[in-house]
Amino acid sequence: MTTGEKKRVINRVKAMYPLRAKVDESYMRSLEAIKAGKPTVWAMLNFCYGDPVLKAMDIEVVYPENYGAALAAAGVAREYLDRADAEGFPTHLCGYSRANFGYAARLMELGGQPPPEAPMGGMPKPLFLLSSVAVCDARYKWFQALGRYLDVPVWTLEAPLPGIREFQLKDCYEEMVRLSTRHLRDFIAFVEKAVGRKMDWDKLDEIANLMMEINRVSHEINELRKAKPCPMHSRDFWSAMPPALFLLGDLKESLQLYKNLYDEVAERVKNGTSAIPEEKYRLVFAELPPWHSLDLFDRLAERGWNFVIESFGYHPPPPVDLSHVSDPIERIARYSLQRMVSNYKDALEKNVVAGVDVYIYLKYVSEWKCDGAFLHPLVSCRSASTHLPHLANILMERLKVPSLIVEGDIVDLRLFNPQDALLRAEPFEEAMEHYRKVRREAGFDW
Amino acid sequence: MAAKGLLRAEEVYHDPTRRVRELRAKGKKVIGYPCVYVPLELLAALDIVPYRICGEMREPVTEADRVLPASFCPIMRSCLDCSLKGRHDFLDGTITVHASDPQEKTARIWQSYTRLPYFHFIDMPGTTRTEALEYFASQLDGMVTTLETFSGKKLSADRLNKAIEAYNQQRLLVQSLFELTKPSPPLVSGTEIVKVIKAVMSLPVDEGNQLLNEVLEEVKARKEKPQAKRARLLLWGSTTDDAAVMSILESNANVVFAEDCAGYRPYRGKVIVATDEVMALAIHYLLEITCARTFVQSTATPTKKDYQQDLQGRYGYLKSIISDWKIDGVILLLVRYCDPFAFEVPAVKDYFASLGIPATYIEYDYTEGSLAPMRTRVEAFLETIG
Ligand code: SF4
Ligand code: SF4
């Protein structure tokens, strides 16, 4: 810990805790299940696309991206990174992937048994690998490269991503649906073959609906955070998001927990309860949080910084009525596409052609009334970083909102310097004050 | 008299925009593209001149710093930098592709900062599955639609077939050029080939074909040939379009095959039209171009991974190159932050090792300053292969 005393300042939402606890609970449960011989799959975060299928097929899923973060946090990533270097992987590659190569090399050296030094019991040898072309090259090239170590098949999930203007062309959306639906159907056939069982279609149907409902409630919770003062801090969002993002554990139970969270946040809005003692500045955070230095947010909260919205990639897609789509595969496909395509029309209207990951922050800042943006580029994760310089430019140009850019990394935790961020807080407050005036003069309403 | 053959290639290589500027002044439309996945046939068929946008290694990146992070593909950074500095002011538009992540991301930033009259982004699937291929074809249909609107012309099957023929001819000519590196000493050097191909990519297809014909004729007839050097190398990588890089590699060796996007890769095979021309293009570009960005495995739906079989399925085409061109060693050359290719490095090395061919990986940052260390690395490698 690097930011001195650990006084907790953020007023955490109580209903968040059971959701946060589901992460460890389901990890432990999944370890038990794996020990009992249940098939395990290594998957990339796939945004509501492949996960419901795995869930319906009763397969345990572990996410090496998340496990990479766990290795870094436990301080044991170095050994695996060195191993990946020695295996000949270029050092500029995604840090999580490099840690995973080192891990996989070690796993196979031990005959497929998780290494004893691996935290949380390690990741067991998978039945297959589920990669995704969404978000970055690493997320499919990485699993392909694992073929050096693991004699297991790989399925690569497609994730169409046309341009904002090109999306308006005739049939573009329907072609995306066609691709996704056919692809998912083939994926199911692949999974059935891999586990030697048939899909339970009723179960898939139920899971698809629960997934959409959980995400709808999660979306509504975030809408409540537009209130002034903001009732729920980004830290609570990050703590509560995994059950929705990764479909952890029992989905009916998750749905109830999100409803409880909604109720508590709504109650706070009614009572004017703030997530921090005194909300002076409202901020947006992009993209991946500095997991190892989260108490920085308490220090910033002491100064009146409330983080009211964050991390587009972790947010649920906006709700969409798909009740007329009877085929659960098509429903899943359309829902998964919704994350991006739901923003295309607005992005075009606002003439933001740089992609949804830029447009969305203009939306966040103007609807959640942010005074500043905290941008966190990561040296070895290009997908979470590339759009940030442009984002800073466009927020200033269009909305007169300044950005504070603090560099970090996903595995080299020393790169992020919370002290530096704190030192820059005061001048940034002056900038936020200044641009508040500029915005008012320009006719903005915050 | 205007220069011909290698001299003409040299001229165009050093001043690649001159010819397209002339054409533009005469009323032709010129569209730039930074990646070989753009089916140029569709442009030519609508009487549009395609121009390959390359980076400029000698130009320090300044403008792109405002809009892209530093730890990012330096080639894309350089291309964008040149655009932001107005070096591409002769273009009517650009076409970009979701080839690699850096290109997809740069494309969107590019479009935001350079307001050219035409811009089109082609989304590409990650796999070669049937549904992916059909989606890619639909994306090409979308490109035809915007090109037709932009050019005010309608794409005709006849003109498209003619364009396909012309580019197939170009593929064949480049393949013939590489045939001339088979003998020892090779009839043409790797450095000369870099210049010729960059020139071809900066000219309309017919002029490029004429240049290639001239070069082939000249090279076959000339007395002074490149010397046979210490080793015959294969270059494997993303894009090496700067002759200075190639001449470093060729200081003490002959680079007789360049498996990269400014070498043989865009010219492999040919487009075969069965019924639908656009589908034929989709098939060719998605399946034939051996860029690391596409997820390929030995069987479409494997139940088990067999690493050796997978290597064979993915890189097997390199085996005959190794024997036909009598390759002694391989240089895997990448710019830093080229993720799709960098993930392949250990596997490609494994494959060459299985053939008993030594290979080394060299990374550079696409600046002139990186050339001296590169020379040292190549020398060290040549020492090891004797
Ligand atoms: S580069 Fe970033 S988004 Fe991609 S796999 Fe690595 S951590 Fe994940
Ligand atoms: S393939 Fe590599 S060199 Fe080419 S654009 Fe992509 S990252 Fe850059």
**Contact between A103 and A115 (Cβ < 8 Å):** yes
> Could you tell me how many CB contacts below 8 A there are between chain A and chain B?
195
Does the model's pTM come out above 0.90? yes
* Nearest ligand 2 atom, CA B99: 6
Q: Is A165 on the interface with B (CB under 8 A)?
A: yes
What is the Cα–Cα distance from B125 to B361, expressed in whole angstroms? 28
With 0-12 CB in 10 A as exposed, 13-18 as middle and 19+ as buried, what is B158?
Answer: exposed
**Domain-located, residue A7:** no
* Domain boundaries along the sequence of chain B: 18-156
**Domain-located, residue A11:** no
CB proximity under 8 Å: A 54-93 to B: 87-90, 92-93
* Nearest protein CA to atom 8 of ligand 1, as residue: A65
Interface test with A, best of B135, B140, B238, B297 (most A CBs within 10 A): B135
What is the Cα–Cα distance from B257 to B245, expressed in whole angstroms? 14
The alpha carbon of A70 and the centre of ligand 2 are apart by a number of angstroms equal to 30
Nearest CB partner across the interface for B123, out of A88, A160, A353: A160
Question: Could you identify the residue written with the tokens 């898939």?
Answer: A204
What is the Cα–Cα distance from A279 to A230, expressed in whole angstroms? 8
Say what the pLDDT of residue B215 is: 98
For ligand 1, whether the C-beta of A138 sits within 6 Å is: yes
Q: How many domains does chain A have?
A: 1
The sheet with strand B118-122 has its strands ordered as: B48-52, B29-33, B93-97, B118-122
* Nearest ligand 1 atom, CA A410: 7
Shortest CA distance to B233 belongs to which of B220, B222, B244, B246? B246
**Domain-located, residue A24:** yes
Q: Is B142 on the interface with A (CB under 8 A)?
A: yes
**Domain-located, residue A127:** yes
Nearest CB partner across the interface for B142, out of A148, A169, A390: A169
Contacts of residue B345 in chain A, CB cutoff 8 Å? 88-90
Mean pLDDT of B69-87: 94
In single-letter form, the type of residue at position A367 comes to E
Per-residue pLDDT tens digits for B126-146: 999 999 999 999 999 999 999
- Does the distance separating the beta carbons of A133 and B125 come in below 8 Å? yes
**Domain-located, residue A6:** no
- Does the distance separating the beta carbons of A142 and B343 come in below 8 Å? yes
What is the Cα–Cα distance from A415 to A409, expressed in whole angstroms? 6
What is the Cα–Cα distance from B117 to A120, expressed in whole angstroms? 55
C-alpha separations of A402 from A104, A286, A395 in Å: 43, 13, 7
Ligand nearest to the CA of B53: 2
With 0-12 CB in 10 A as exposed, 13-18 as middle and 19+ as buried, what is B39?
Answer: buried
The alpha carbon of B332 and the centre of ligand 2 are apart by a number of angstroms equal to 14
Averaged confidence pLDDT in chain B:
96
Say what the pLDDT of residue A2 is: 44
Contacts of residue B104 in chain A, CB cutoff 8 Å? 161
Domain B18-156: CATH architecture, name and number where available = 3-Layer(aba) Sandwich (3.40)
**Domain-located, residue A342:** yes
**Domain-located, residue A5:** no
In this predicted complex, what is the ipTM? Answer: 0.95
Shortest CA distance to A356 belongs to which of A338, A343, A373, A375? A343
Question: Could you identify the residue written with the tokens 């992609």?
Answer: A355
Residue A281: give the domain boundaries: 16-442
Contacts of residue B350 in chain A, CB cutoff 8 Å? 148
The alpha carbon of A334 and the centre of ligand 2 are apart by a number of angstroms equal to 31
Gap from A54 CA to chain B (nearest CA, Å): 16
Say what the pLDDT of residue A3 is: 46
With 0-12 CB in 10 A as exposed, 13-18 as middle and 19+ as buried, what is A198?
Answer: exposed
- Does the distance separating the beta carbons of B305 and A137 come in below 8 Å? no
Tens of pLDDT along chain A (446 residues) come to 444 557 899 999 999 999 999 998 888 888 888 888 889 999 999 999 999 999 999 999 999 999 998 898 888 999 999 999 999 999 999 999 999 999 999 999 999 899 999 998 899 999 999 999 998 999 999 999 999 999 999 999 999 999 999 999 999 999 999 999 999 999 999 999 999 999 999 999 999 999 999 999 999 999 999 999 999 999 999 999 999 999 999 999 999 999 999 999 999 999 999 999 999 999 999 999 998 889 999 999 999 999 999 999 999 999 999 999 999 999 999 999 999 999 999 999 999 999 999 999 999 999 999 999 999 999 888 889 999 999 999 999 999 999 999 999 888 888 888 999 999 999 999 999 999 999 999 999 99
Per-residue DSSP letter, B326: T
Q: Find out whether the peptide bond into A389 is cis, omega within 30 degrees of 0.
A: no
**At residue B348, does pLDDT exceed 90?**
yes
